[in-house]
Structures are given as structure tokens and as C-alpha cells.
Amino acid sequence: MCGIVGYIGNTDAKEILLRGLEKLEYRGYDSAGIAVQTETGVQVFKEKGRIADLREIVDPAVETFTGIGHTRWATHGEPSRENAHPHQSTTERFTLVHNGVIENYLQLKREYLADVTFNSETDTEVIVQLVEKFVNEGLEVNEAFRNTLSLLHGSYALALLDRENPDTIYVAKNKSPLLVGLGDVFNVVASDAMAMLQVTDRYVELMDKEMVTVTKDSVTLQKLNGEVVERAPFIAELDASDIEKGTYPHYMLKEIDEQPAVIRKIIQAYQNEAGELSIDPEIVEAVNHTDRIYIVAAGTSYHAGLVGKEFIEKMAKIPVEVHVASEFAYNMPLLSEKPLFVFISQSGETADSRACLVHVKELGYPALTITNVPGSTLSREADYTLLLHAGPEIAVASTKAYTAQLAVLAILAHVAGKAKGLGFEADLVQELGIVANAIQVLVDTKVEIEYIAREYLSVTRNAFFIGRALDYYVGLEGALKLKEISYIQAEGFAGGELKHGTIALIEEGTPVIALATQPSVNLSIRGNVKEVVARGAYPCVISMNGLEEEDDRFVLPEVNEMLTPLISVVPLQLLAYYAALHRDCDVDKPRNLAKSVTVE
Ligand code: M6R
């Protein structure tokens, strides 16, 4: 989703901004732009398409030491040069980039800006025009900016240039993520530390409804009432090599391959000195004190939540409900007496999940966030956090974060259960070690999956994933992976549900990928496969050692029955990867999608 960068210092701002935007490409965008302060005023370069297209139009001769940049993921107005950021006020004195959605922009237009001609369809332009209006009415820029912010309803991360104050970048945030990075005689602004890791690893977090005045030597945080806020910086513990592709053709493939290492890292991170799995006792207490857990998440994280429900109910005997964040916020179920909310989010920034968290905290309920990003909004605002330790996930399609979520949920369920004399039936450390080895085998033999992808998915327009019990949830994730990066219409179904409607879609040759890793439902899913074959489907059965049958297309190494989702998802991730590759799709940056969905 939209990304913001800013730089003010002594070196060429253009290159730092462009490189920063390239690091934000993973978030998903459809246009990009930069604005830089020059001796003759602010110059704006913006273009629909990729950063590479923007690079083409940025004049290399322009000398500049201050600027802001933006990648736009269209919400208000189509992807176009006109709607791309930065946007300028009528006199071009003020120039602004924005991430978020201003819900009352039409009302603000009507009420304050009826005589202004707008150049774009965006909500953003209202903000920059309001700043100019208030300055024209006599306010100082700082005051005009704060006045404008106080009128905005919705989410924003903002960076503003003033032609008349070229030594300052004005910054503000509400709900959308934004950091200020500190340097030696320079400072930067970024939606994500990754963008500016090239120049600094020291960052100051911004809280909602704060504004910041950034010069090359100073960073001043203020609340909207003008009160100055002091906040110590933190060090972004990111290794620059973690965010490089290295020799891999795509981040997604690199991240799939990293899964065994991630599982091992999680085991280590959650082991105490005695080698036992351990979790902050306060979290265990919160889990065991609740009468019902409500898992709230989106997309892949929601699918991880479905598996997590099974883990927690079986190992800790606590009832769990799993909810899609975008629905939960507006359609809350009847809650139990002592609910505990668990937010699962790779990025920790998903706006739908955050809206639920804000609501839940207003109601006074405890919340735990399971995330990959320490210091992310969902982590900061929940009472407790469990980290995924998966390392940065750059590809839009989530892979290693999903397996990490499952591993952490299994550990949570086991440790909470063990505190009550329950827990995992076997040695979870050992079984997760076996899982890591099994994933290693799978990623080492990916050529077989590439072959299957070519055979089943090269030309088809649709595909179905079926499974029962845990396999059903993994099928949902397999279908999401396939559709998001290959654009094949893919759906996951519970094997038994097909007969209730979906089987009508089965035609001669329709690929049906069936998971058969669960002994308790093996016969039933085999029956469902027969039903679709009888109607012309082209079946691809992925089973597990010990449960395999003669015509199965792929057999997974055996792991503990409850942990099968951690490995059965891997061939599905690889199937999606190769299907997208064979169809010439942009694997890491699929159309219309954003990595971090920071608008509701
Ligand atoms: O960062 P989050 O885990 O909160 O993101 C939630 C979804 O947007 C995300 O899982 C999305 O579905 C992935 N692109 C799927 O691969």
C-alpha cells in the first residue's frame, strides 16, 4: 500500500528518495513520484507505473538536498499521473504526500474549499489545499498544518514541503505507519525502516495524532495541541542482506526456501535455558484466564488463525472463534464474559485488524498480537506480543510468515495447555524439528512441483483445492496463494461441501488439488476425489507418507498429524509460484495487491 519517504541533509536527495521508494515497492503500488526543493522552488516528478518509469523522468541535473517521495496504491481515483502523489496547492507553495484515507474529504471540500480548482480525484489534495488556505488566512505553517490535521477524519501519514521554508519537512501521522530516521546532519522519513536502512538504522516512532518538524539537524515532535513530546529512538534490527534477493530470481522463492531456518529460529527463540518451550508467563496467564479466544486476522493470517483454533482447542482446551478482521469491526459477535483477543498479522499494520484492536481496547478487553514486526502498530497497541522471527517478508504473497504463525500458535497452545496439565501429545520441540527437516526435503525437491504446476496450471482458467479438517484450512491458503499471484480463479472447499453447489463448476479437465494428510478423514476425502473425477475433474492428490495411494501425485514426508499444515502448505506455495512464473506474472508484485494493507 502507499509508501512514503523523505530526506533532508547534505547529499543528493533524488537518489536517496528513489532508492527508498524501490525498497517500498514490495508494499504494492501503481504510480510513484518525488518532489524536491531546488534553488528555484519545488520540482515534482511523478508517473503512473513502476519506479523504473519514474527514474526515467527525474532530471539528473537537478541539484537538491531535500525532498519527499511516494508510491501510490489507488483508492480515490484511478492509477494515473494526475492522481499520483505528490500533490500541490494552487500556488504550488505546498507539496504533499499521503498514505491513508481521509473519510470526510468531500465534506471538507464543500465546507472550506468550494472556490478551489482541484487537479486530481484524490482525497489527499484537500489536505494540501487546506494548509494553503489557513496560511493565506494568516497562520504560521506549523499552526496551519496542525489546524488542518485537527479537521481530518480517517487515516494519514503525511510529509509536506513548503517552498518558502526549504529547510523543513513537516510530518504527521494517524493510524497509518510512519517513522522518522535520524542521521548525522541529515534526517529521513519513511513508512518502513527498510526504505531508509541504506542511510540510517536509528528511528523514532510516531504515535497517532502527532506532528513532527524535521530539519537536517533536528526532529521536533508535537501533539496536535502544540505540546512538545520527547521520545528516544530505537535501532531497527534489520540486516540489509535480509531485504536483498541475493541470487534468487524472486523474493517469494527465497522466502519459501527460508522456511526450515525460520522454524528452527522460532524453536530457539521460544526455548528457555532448560530447553523447554516457554512463553511470557503473563501471556500464558491471560490465555488460561479467558473463557473464549477471538482470533482476528485477514488473508493468509486468517487462514493461519483457522489452524491456530485447532491447536488451541486441542492442546489448551479453550474455545476459539476465528474472525475476518474487515467483518469483525462492523459486525461483532456476542462476546463471552472473559474474552481474549488474538490479532495475527505478519506486518502488524493491517488497517482492518487495527480497527478491531482499537475497538476491543475501547471496550477494555485484553489483546495479544502475533506479528513479524516488533514495534508495529498492532504490537504497540496490544497488551502482549508474540514475535514470528521470520525475518522481513517482501513478496506480496505471504509464505514464511504463515508457517511461522502456525509454529508460534502451536507453541502458544502447547505452553498454555501444559500449564493446565494438557499440551501437545508428544515432544513439540522434536516434532517441530522434524517439520523443519520435512520442509527442507520439500524445498530441495521443488522441481517435481514445477512439473505439476506446468501440467495442471499452465493453461487452466480455474482450479479447486479440497481437503477435510486441517487440510481444508490449508486448501483455503493454497487457493489464495494461487489466485493472488497467477490470477487463476482458485477456490478452497471442504471436501464434503462440494456436493452442495460447487461441484456444478467441475468440467472436463478442471484441476482439483486434493490434500489427504489426515488419517481420520482419509477415506472421506478419497471419496470426494472420486466424485469430482466422475464429473471430469483432473485430480492432483497430495497425500502423506503412510496414507498414500497408487495414483497420488505427490507424497509428503510424514510429520505429526497435527502439524501437517506446516508442511502441506509448502507444495501449494510452490505450485502457485511456478504457475505464476509459467504464466509470466509478476510473482513478487501481483497486480492490484499491496503487501501491507494500511487502509480499511
Ligand atoms: O500483514 P497481515 O498478515 O495482517 O496481512 C494480512 C493479509 O493482507 C495478507 O495475509 C494477504 O492475504 C497476503 N498477501 C496473502 O498472501
pLDDT values of the chain reduced to their tens digit, one per residue, 600 residues: 689 999 999 999 999 999 999 988 877 788 999 999 999 999 999 999 889 999 999 999 999 999 999 999 888 888 899 999 999 999 999 999 999 889 999 999 999 999 999 999 999 999 999 999 999 999 999 999 999 999 999 989 999 999 999 999 999 999 888 999 999 999 999 998 889 998 999 999 898 999 999 999 999 999 989 899 999 999 887 776 677 888 899 999 999 999 999 999 999 999 998 889 999 999 999 999 999 999 999 999 999 999 999 999 999 999 999 999 999 988 899 999 999 999 999 999 998 999 999 999 999 999 999 999 988 889 989 999 999 999 999 999 999 999 999 999 999 999 999 999 998 989 999 999 999 999 999 999 899 999 999 999 988 999 999 999 999 999 999 999 999 999 999 999 999 998 898 888 899 999 999 999 999 999 999 999 999 999 999 999 999 999 999 999 999 999 999 999 999 999 999 999 999 999 999 998 888 887 777 666
Question: Which of 441, 458, 477 is a domain's end point?
Answer: 441
Q: Could you count the other beta carbons within 10 Å of the beta carbon of residue 363?
A: 11
Question: Which of 397, 422, 441 is a domain's end point?
Answer: 441
Ligand 1: which of 256, 301, 369, 394 to mutate, judged by most atoms within 8 Å of the beta carbon?
Answer: 301
Q: Which among 226, 258, 240 is positioned nearest to 436, based on CA atoms?
A: 258
Residue 596 falls inside a structural domain: no
Q: Return the ligand 1 atom nearest residue 378 CA.
A: 4
Residue 346 in contact with ligand 1 by CB distance below 6 A? yes
Q: Indicate which residue's Cα is closest to atom 16 of ligand 1.
A: 397
Chain-centroid distance of CA 528 in Å reads 34
**Same domain, yes or no, for 450 and 432?**
no
What are the C-alpha distances in Å from 286 to residues 417, 428, 580? 12, 22, 43
pTM: 0.81
Domain that includes residue 494, residue range:
445-587
Residue 217 falls inside a structural domain: yes
Residue 434 in contact with ligand 1 by CB distance below 6 A? no
Q: Indicate which residue's Cα is closest to atom 2 of ligand 1.
A: 345
What are the C-alpha distances in Å from 223 to residues 112, 145, 213, 562? 24, 12, 11, 49
Burial of 588 from C-beta contacts in 10 A (0-12 / 13-18 / 19+): buried
Q: CA end-to-end span of the chain, whole Å?
A: 11
Q: How many angstroms is it from 139 CA to the middle of ligand 1?
A: 42
Residue 353 in contact with ligand 1 by CB distance below 6 A? yes
Strand-strand pairing, 292-297 and 228-229: unpaired
Residue 94 falls inside a structural domain: yes
CATH of the domain at 54: 3.60.20.10
Q: How many angstroms is it from 34 CA to the middle of ligand 1?
A: 28
**Same domain, yes or no, for 222 and 258?**
no
Spell out where 22-135 has E strands.
31-38, 41-48, 66-72, 87-88, 94-99
Q: Indicate which residue's Cα is closest to atom 12 of ligand 1.
A: 299
Q: How many angstroms is it from 346 CA to the middle of ligand 1?
A: 7
What are the C-alpha distances in Å from 541 to residues 468, 513, 517? 13, 6, 10
According to DSSP, residue 154 is labeled B
Residue 598 falls inside a structural domain: no
Residue 351 in contact with ligand 1 by CB distance below 6 A? no
Residue 594 falls inside a structural domain: no
Q: Return the ligand 1 atom nearest residue 299 CA.
A: 12
Q: How many angstroms is it from 350 CA to the middle of ligand 1?
A: 8
Q: How many angstroms is it from 397 CA to the middle of ligand 1?
A: 8
Residue 556 falls inside a structural domain: yes
Residue 371 in contact with ligand 1 by CB distance below 6 A? no
**Same domain, yes or no, for 431 and 453?**
no
Q: How many angstroms is it from 355 CA to the middle of ligand 1?
A: 15
Residue 281 falls inside a structural domain: yes
Residue 345 in contact with ligand 1 by CB distance below 6 A? yes
Residue 124 in contact with ligand 1 by CB distance below 6 A? no
**Same domain, yes or no, for 374 and 472?**
no
**Same domain, yes or no, for 269 and 141?**
no
Residue 299 in contact with ligand 1 by CB distance below 6 A? yes
Q: Indicate which residue's Cα is closest to atom 4 of ligand 1.
A: 345
Q: Indicate which residue's Cα is closest to atom 8 of ligand 1.
A: 299
Ligand 1: which of 295, 346, 385, 484 to mutate, judged by most atoms within 8 Å of the beta carbon?
Answer: 346
Residue 510 in contact with ligand 1 by CB distance below 6 A? no
Where helices occur in 212-298 by DSSP H, the ranges are: 251-257, 259-269, 281-289
Q: How many angstroms is it from 359 CA to the middle of ligand 1?
A: 21
Question: Which of 187, 207, 238 is a domain's end point?
Answer: 238
Which residues are known catalytic residues? 2, 595
**Same domain, yes or no, for 566 and 508?**
yes
Q: Which among 37, 38, 56 is positioned nearest to 46, based on CA atoms?
A: 56
Residue 397 in contact with ligand 1 by CB distance below 6 A? yes
CATH of the domain at 560: 3.40.50.10490
Return left, alpha or beta for 389; rule: phi > 0 is left, psi -120 to 50 is alpha, else beta.
left
Concatenate the DSSP letters of all residues of 357-400 into one string: HHHHHHTT--EEEEESSTT-HHHHHSSEEEE-------SSS--H
Q: Return the ligand 1 atom nearest residue 399 CA.
A: 16
Residue 376 in contact with ligand 1 by CB distance below 6 A? no
Residue 350 in contact with ligand 1 by CB distance below 6 A? yes
Q: How many angstroms is it from 347 CA to the middle of ligand 1?
A: 8
**Same domain, yes or no, for 217 and 336?**
no
**Same domain, yes or no, for 401 and 458?**
no
Residue 399 in contact with ligand 1 by CB distance below 6 A? no
Residue 243 falls inside a structural domain: no
**Same domain, yes or no, for 187 and 268?**
no
**Same domain, yes or no, for 299 and 205?**
no
Residue 347 in contact with ligand 1 by CB distance below 6 A? yes
Q: How many angstroms is it from 519 CA to the middle of ligand 1?
A: 30
Ligand 1: which of 256, 398, 473 to mutate, judged by most atoms within 8 Å of the beta carbon?
Answer: 398
Number of domains, the chain? 3
Q: Does the N-terminal peptide bond of residue 60 adopt cis geometry, omega within 30 degrees of 0?
A: no
Q: How many angstroms is it from 401 CA to the middle of ligand 1?
A: 9
Q: Return the ligand 1 atom nearest residue 350 CA.
A: 4
**Same domain, yes or no, for 151 and 41?**
yes
**Same domain, yes or no, for 45 and 57?**
yes
